[in-house]
Amino acid sequence: MSKFLIAGLGNIGEEYTETRHNIGFKILDELAGKEGISFHTDRLAAVAEYKFKGKIFILIKPSTYMNLSGKAINYWMQAEKISLDNVLILTDDLALPFGTLRLKTKGSDGGHNGLKSIQETLNNTEYSRLRFGIGSEFSKGKQVDYVLGKWSEDEQKSLPPRIETAIEMIKSFGTIGVQRTMTAFNNK
């Protein structure tokens, strides 16, 4: 049975729960809620196992804080014997308009501290990441406040269908592969 590691990036703590930077956690929480599975605290992450169409998805929400995400991802890749080809990182992205979803198989960290940590820890930039656009509606010097800020009322109303699409993309990644998933979803 093929295994996949799906890592949602975010920060632990109540103050971060509904922030833009925690969209990776939010997507995995929605998936777990829909499928009736729950996370348990384990080494370096909250972990849940999800089975779908003969595949095993190990869902993790690193408890290392964003800047050390690579430590948790590396640990769970080793512990579950999952190759880099079967890893998918869920992350927020300022460079994409709000709600835009883009699956990529490689790239720079784009200034994202979570991706920077992963790339430094794994010494590799060729891993799949599902980028969730959060837009860039902030004034000069206010990027951190924006990223760590709560969703606006309009954004909250628009999130559910985008999160639903992200969940479909996770399932597709594990069943039909990254290339076909990119073809099916990246231009929507």
What tens digit of pLDDT does each residue of 107-121 get?
A: 999 889 999 999 999
| Interatomic CA distance for residues 77 and 127, integer angstroms | 12
Does position 2 have pLDDT exceeding 80, yes or no? yes
Report the sign of the C-alpha dihedral through residues 25, 56, 121, 163, in that order.
negative
21 is catalytic: yes
Other C-beta atoms within 10 Å of 25: how many? 22
Contact 121, 74 (CB under 8 A): yes
Strands 3-8 and 55-62, sheet pairing: parallel
Q: What is the pLDDT of residue 24?
A: 97
Task: Compute the mean pLDDT over every residue in the chain, rounded to the nearest whole number.
Answer: 95
Sketch the domain layout of the chain as residue ranges: 3-185
CATH 3.40.50.1470 for domain 3-185, yes or no, is yes
pTM equals 0.96
Q: In this prediction, what percent of the chain has a pLDDT beyond 70? A: 99
Q: Give me the mean pLDDT over the 119-131 stretch.
A: 96
Of 21, 71, 129, 131, the catalytic one is: 21
| Interatomic CA distance for residues 24 and 178, integer angstroms | 18
Question: With bands split at pLDDT 50, 70 and 90, how would you rate the model's confidence at 139?
Answer: confident
The helix, strand and coil proportions of the chain, stated in percent and rounded to the nearest 5, come to 45, 25, 30
Q: What is the pLDDT of residue 183?
A: 95
Give residue 11's identity as a one-letter amino acid code.
Answer: N
Q: What is the pLDDT of residue 142?
A: 87
Q: What is the pLDDT of residue 171?
A: 97
Does position 140 have pLDDT exceeding 90, yes or no? no
**Nearest residue to 50 (alpha-carbon basis) of 175, 135, 153:** 175
SS3 63: coil
Does position 137 have pLDDT exceeding 90, yes or no? no
Q: What is the pLDDT of residue 188?
A: 66
Q: Give me the mean pLDDT over the 137-144 stretch.
A: 87
**Nearest residue to 126 (alpha-carbon basis) of 156, 81, 155, 89:** 89
Q: Give me the mean pLDDT over the 153-179 stretch.
A: 96
